[in-house]
A and B are shown apart, each in its own frame.
Chain A
Amino acid sequence: MFRFLDYPTPDARGRFGPYGGRYVPETLIPALEELEAAYLEARRDPAFLAEYRAYLADYAGRPTPLYFAERLSRRLGGARIYLKREDLAHTGAHKINNTLGQALLARRMGKRRVIAETGAGQHGVSVATVAAMFGLEAVIYMGEEDVRRQALNVFRMRLLGARVVPVGSGTKTLKDATNEAIRDWVTHVRDTFYILGSVVGPHPYPRMVRDFQSVIGQEIRAQLKEKEGREVPDAVIACVGGGSNAIGAFAPFAYAEPRPRLVGVEAAGEGLATGRHAASIAAGRRGVLHGSYMYLLQDEDGQIAPAHSVSAGLDYPGVGPEHGYLADEGIAEYAAVTDREALEGFQLLARTEGIIPALESAHAVAYAAKLVPTLPADAVVVINISGRGDKDVAEVQRILEGER
Chain B
Amino acid sequence: MNPVSEAFERARKEGRRAAIPFLTAGYPDPEGFLDHATRLARLADLFEVGLPFSDPLGDGPVIQRASERALAQGVRTRTTLDLLARLAERSRVPLLLMTYLNPVLAWGPERFFRDAREAGAAGVILPDLPPDEDPGIAALAQEAGLATVFLLAPTSTDARIATVAGYTTGFVYAVSVTGVTGARDRLPPELGELIARIKRRTALPVAVGFGVSGRATARQVAEAGADGVVVGSALIRAIEAGADPAGVLAEVREGARL
- Report which A residues bind B (CB closer than 8 A): 21-31, 169-170, 175-176, 179, 182-183, 186-190, 285-291, 296, 298, 300-304
Contacts and interface: CB of A to CB of B under 8 A. Distances in A.
Contacts, number: 115
A301 B150 contact: no
A25 B127 contact: yes
Contact of B130 (A23, A169, A188): A23
A271 to B, nearest CB: 23
B127 A179 contact: no
A29 B130 contact: yes
Contacts of A291: 128
Given A189-B155, A302-B77, A304-B102, A25 B58 contact: yes
Contacts of B55: 170, 175-176, 179, 289-290, 304
Interface residues of B, number: 42
B133 interface: yes
B204 interface: no
Interface in B149-193: 150-157, 160, 164, 175, 178-180
A179 B130 contact: no
Given A26-B130, A170-B54, A189 B178 contact: yes
Contacts of A290: 55, 57
B106 interface: yes
B113 interface: no
A52 B193 CA distance: 41
Nearest to B173: A26
Nearest to A302: B106
A286 B104 CA distance: 12
* Top-8 shortest CB links A-B: A302-B106, A27-B153, A302-B103, A187-B179, A302-B102, A301-B76, A303-B54, A304-B54
A339 to B, nearest CB: 24
A190 B104 CA distance: 31
Contacts of B56: 179
A21 B58 CA distance: 18
A303 B67 CA distance: 11
B64 interface: yes
If over half of B's interface residues share one DSSP class (helix, strand or loop), that class is named, otherwise mixed; here it is loop
A31 B154 CA distance: 12
12 contacts: A23-B129, A25-B128, A26-B150, A26-B152, A26-B175, A27-B175, A27-B178, A176-B55, A183-B179, A183-B180, A303-B71, A303-B102
B155 A21 contact: no
A175 B133 CA distance: 23
A283 B257 CA distance: 54
Contact of A182 (B57, B133, B160): B57
A301 B155 contact: no
Given A21-B133, A25-B128, A298 B156 contact: no
Given A24-B130, A303-B76, A304-B54, A190 B178 contact: yes
Contact of B160 (A26, A169, A183): A26
A288 B101 contact: yes
Contacts of B157: 30
Contacts of B179: 27, 183, 186-187
A27 B164 CA distance: 12
Interface in B99-153: 100-107, 127-130, 133-134, 150-153
B8 interface: no
A287 B154 CA distance: 28
A100 B93 CA distance: 54
A251 B104 CA distance: 33
Given A288-B105, A302-B104, A302-B106, A187 B178 contact: yes
A182 B64 CA distance: 14
Contacts of A285: 106
B107 A302 contact: yes
A186 B178 contact: yes
A298 B102 contact: yes
A33 B34 CA distance: 42
Nearest to B106: A302
Contacts of B54: 170, 303-304
A300 B68 contact: no
Contacts of A179: 55-57
B53 interface: yes
Contacts of B155: 27-31, 189-190
A188 B179 CA distance: 7
Interface string B73-93: 000111000000000000000
B58 A186 contact: yes
A31 to B, nearest CB: 7
